[in-house]
Amino acid sequence: MISLLLAIPRLGVQTVSTALQQLWANRVRAFLTTLGIIIGVASTIAIVGGTQGLKAFVLKEFESFGATRFVIFPRNPRETPNRFSPQQVQLKNRELPIVERASPSIARITPVKVFTASVQAGDRIEQNVRITGMDEDWHLIEGRAIVQGRPFSRIDDEEKRAVCLVNDKAVEELNLNKDPSGTSILVGGRKFLIVGVVETKTLPTIFGGGEPLSEVYIPFSVANSIRPEPIFGMFIQGTMTSAEAFGDLFAEVSAALRRSRNLKPGDPNTFDIRATEQAISTINRVSIGLTIAATCIVAISLVVGGIGIMNIMLASVSERTREIGLRKAVGAPPMVILTQFLVEAVVLCLVGAAIGVALGATLILGVRAIPDSPMADATIPAWAIILAAGSSALTGIVFGMFPAIKAARLNPIDALRHE
């Protein structure tokens, strides 16, 4: 019994070695047989690796936003586009403290008003410059550092001081000093004192970010007095206590704003709430969807490849009938014959899977080598390789079983007579 157990590993090595020899003897036929498996596994590896790279790229782009960021903005319901006037839809100043009190999930919050105006510094005039009105919490929410001068203070907003911040792009285009603090500019014909320079930060590439533009920032109360019309309405942005708090924040803010706007239970919201975490969740769902699609592709390819392997193994049984009969005549039990042909089918599938993994990895490396490729972080997760190998081995067992059983059941006398 002990000697039999010790012989099992040696017999297994011999069986695999024999299977490899058979594959090498018919290598062209074996390659063509495994082509379906090679294509399926390579496609899966490439799709999964590419999805991982795209996901990493998008999430990296979101890092500049922060996972806890959210924004509340007016929304004219599509269900009833003519029911609410612009005045009813726009957010009001009085709603900011209502929102802040109603939601413990809010860490920081600021009103924001954006419009465009001409900006003049000396003889230089820039048209349609982006003007943003905000308060002192904006710096912490946006994560925009002050590179020169000072940030806004609460007093600037409370006393409606005519002060402003500019970004370094505005410094360049308006031909200002490197540190323009203390310099005055005209914003829409109104004089403002520059108190600092804020770093330039563009939108992520996936949101159409490109060349940075000139920006001027003024206290929200001043912006509200310059542009009080509803069409230049404000929006609210802030940060949550955690990235997982969006569900609570949405419920709390929605209830507070619906009460404030006297919306009835059947009325649609005249506002919307979005968060970075929502987009991240969407990206994760898309990633899962692509992975499922890749799994379906490999499943179809394995079935097609498995049918080819069954055919080639049946042909192999027919070609080696005399060999099988001779082995049975010298005492080889049916289980040994079955195991040999089953191992050959599994090895054939695993070799195809190995080639497919190598081909898929080559595709991923090629994509990563492209300059400025969004797939620069594409990687092949270990589970994808394990899945490919496991599925291929299972295909070999399932589709190789019938030919192996047929070989094991051959009558040795009939097999020896086979021409």
DSSP for 285-302, please give it. Answer: HHHHHHHHHHHHHHHHHH
Has residue 2 been placed in a domain? no
Has residue 397 been placed in a domain? yes
Using alpha carbons, list the distances in angstroms from residue 309 to 29, 173, 345, 402: 10, 69, 7, 11
Cβ partners under 8 Å of residue 177, min gap 6: 171, 183
- Please give the single-letter amino acid code of residue 382: A
Do 270 and 122 have their domain in common? yes
Has residue 259 been placed in a domain? yes
Do 219 and 140 have their domain in common? yes
Distance CA 163, CA 196 (A): 9
Do 51 and 78 have their domain in common? no
Has residue 190 been placed in a domain? yes
Do 35 and 179 have their domain in common? no
Do 81 and 98 have their domain in common? yes
pLDDT truncated to tens, each residue of the chain (419 aa)?
333 233 334 445 666 666 667 667 667 777 777 787 888 888 888 888 887 787 777 766 665 566 688 888 888 887 777 778 777 788 888 888 899 898 898 988 988 988 889 999 988 888 888 899 988 888 888 878 888 899 998 899 889 999 999 998 899 888 888 889 999 999 988 999 999 999 887 655 444 455 678 899 999 989 988 887 655 568 888 888 887 788 888 899 999 999 988 888 888 888 888 887 666 677 777 777 777 777 777 777 777 777 877 877 777 777 777 777 777 777 777 787 787 778 888 888 888 888 888 998 898 888 888 887 777 778 888 888 888 888 888 888 888 888 888 777 777 666 566 55
Do 55 and 144 have their domain in common? no
pLDDT of residue 5: 30
Has residue 118 been placed in a domain? yes
Instruction: Look at the pTM and tell me if it is higher than 0.85.
Output: no
Domain of residue 377, residue span: 12-61+281-417
Do 268 and 293 have their domain in common? no
**How many domains does the chain divide into?**
2
Do 286 and 225 have their domain in common? no
Helix axes 334-368 and 321-329, enclosed angle (nearest 10): 130
Has residue 82 been placed in a domain? yes
Do 293 and 370 have their domain in common? yes
Has residue 4 been placed in a domain? no
Domain-terminating residue out of 275, 299, 329:
275
Has residue 80 been placed in a domain? yes
Domain-terminating residue out of 220, 247, 275:
275
pLDDT of residue 216: 93
Do 183 and 107 have their domain in common? yes
Strand partners, 418: none
Domain-terminating residue out of 245, 275, 305:
275
